[in-house]
Every structure is written in C-alpha cells, then in structure tokens.
Amino acid sequence: MIKKFARNEVGRDFVVGDIHGCFSRLTESLYSVGFDGEKDRLFSVGDLVDRGIESHLVCDWIAKPWFHAVRGNHDDFAIRHAKIGALDFENYTRNGGAWFIALPKDEQLTIADALDSLPYAMQVETDNGLIGIVHAECPYENWNELVEALESNLTRTKSKAITDWLMWARERAESGYDGMINGLNSLIVGHTPVKNITSLGNVIYIDTMGWRNEGHFTLIKIQDSIA
C-alpha cells in the first residue's frame, strides 16, 4: 500500500502531475529537462489513464525501471471496471473511460493488473527529510500515522476509507486549510487542477493540467520542493 525509496545518490528525482494518457507530451517535458533514465527517477502523483489518447501505453510506462506512480482515482476506475464491474458506466465514460470500456476483456485485465500493482502512497528520502507523494490528500495530519495505517492489517471498511481519501479527497484544497503534515518536509499531490503550482502548508499541488491543450505538465525536482 505504500512504497519507500532511499535517496537518489547518482541523479535527480522529479515528480509530475496527473498524466491522463498524454505520454508523448510527458516525454517532451522530460526531454526539456534533460531527463536521464540511467540516473534520474520520475515519480507520478497518479491518474495515468483516461482523457488522453495514449492511455493504452500505460503498461509500458509502469514497466520502466525509473518510473514510479501512486494510484489515482482514474486508475482505480479501470481496476474496478475490469475486476469487479461495480461501476457507474455513465460517469466513467463521461470522465474519459470510454477507451477502456471498449477494450477486449483480456486487455482490460492486463492493464488493470498493472494499475493494481501501484501503491496508494510513496515516500522518498532526501538530505532534508522525507517527501511524501499521494494522489489527492492525506487523511492524517501526521504522515507517520498514515504509514502505520497502510502497513497494518486494517479492516476492509477502514482500508477503503483511507484509500478513498488518498485518491479522491479535496477537503484541504476546497477549504484552503494550510496546516502542516507533520513527519514530512513536503507532501506532493495532484487530483485538484491548478493553473500553477500551489501550496497549502507543506502540501504542494502540481496537477497543472498537462492533459489539456491549455495546460502544461509540471515537473518539479524533489530537492526544489524542500520547504
């Protein structure tokens, strides 16, 4: 449920906002910063699929050794559609899921399995403390409480409450609450579209809508996100 990374001793670490099947545009952004897959790492705040025309490439990206993503709500849409089927199809289609619904069942399951391998949270060590990454928001004001919960044997109800919050919540963004998440230097999130990088306390919102023509992908170097 959570994946932990040691500090990068040889290269740079970047975090990118919601991708939504726009992998060619992301590749252009990586080229612009001289990304080197031999040394650098790219972390994603999730929502790898839907809306963009290249969502079908998601398995190729998840397989890249330098690419690491958390699970977003759109990734969870695909998993639930393929594996459970309990989904509001009209809502899923309206939010970009028509491409997935149209796939043969075996292709759906292959993609769903790849997405299901993604953790709900990641943390990365830096010289100045931990950087946390989730898709939407942290349900606790202390990162260590989230880590403990995700590493515990939770009841299904409790687990769903936590993971739904990690993938769907917008309470902080909508209220403008700027309290700190203790136990972290910074928490980097997507999910809530913003025109430019926005911070509330030590929570940094980076979904600058690179999946829209009028938007752009934000690539922040983790060391630059240190508060």
Block means of pLDDT (10 residues each) for the chain, length 227 residues? 96 97 97 97 98 97 98 95 81 90 95 98 94 98 97 89 97 96 97 96 97 94 69
Residue 174 tokens read as: 């909508």
Instruction: Name the pairing type of β-strands 2-5 and 186-189.
Output: unpaired
| pLDDT for the residue 92 | 87
Question: Residue type for 165, please?
Answer: W
Provide CB contacts within 8 A for 2, sequence distance 6+: 119, 120, 121, 122, 123, 146, 147, 150, 151
CATH code, 203: 3.60.21.10
Domain count across the chain: 1
| pLDDT for the residue 199 | 96
| pLDDT for the residue 86 | 64
Single out the catalytic residue among 20, 68, 74, 191.
Answer: 74
Provide CB contacts within 8 A for 48, sequence distance 6+: 19, 20, 21, 55, 58, 61, 62, 69, 72, 74, 75, 115
Q: Comparing C-alpha atoms, which of 78, 30, 63 is closest to residue 217?
A: 30
Range of the domain at 9: 2-225
Distance CA 207, CA 219 (A): 10
| pLDDT for the residue 34 | 97
**Residue 82, CB-side half-sphere exposure with 13 Å CA sphere:** 25
Distance CA 147, CA 140 (A): 10
Specify whether 74 is catalytic. yes
| pLDDT for the residue 225 | 57
| pLDDT for the residue 108 | 96
| pLDDT for the residue 214 | 92
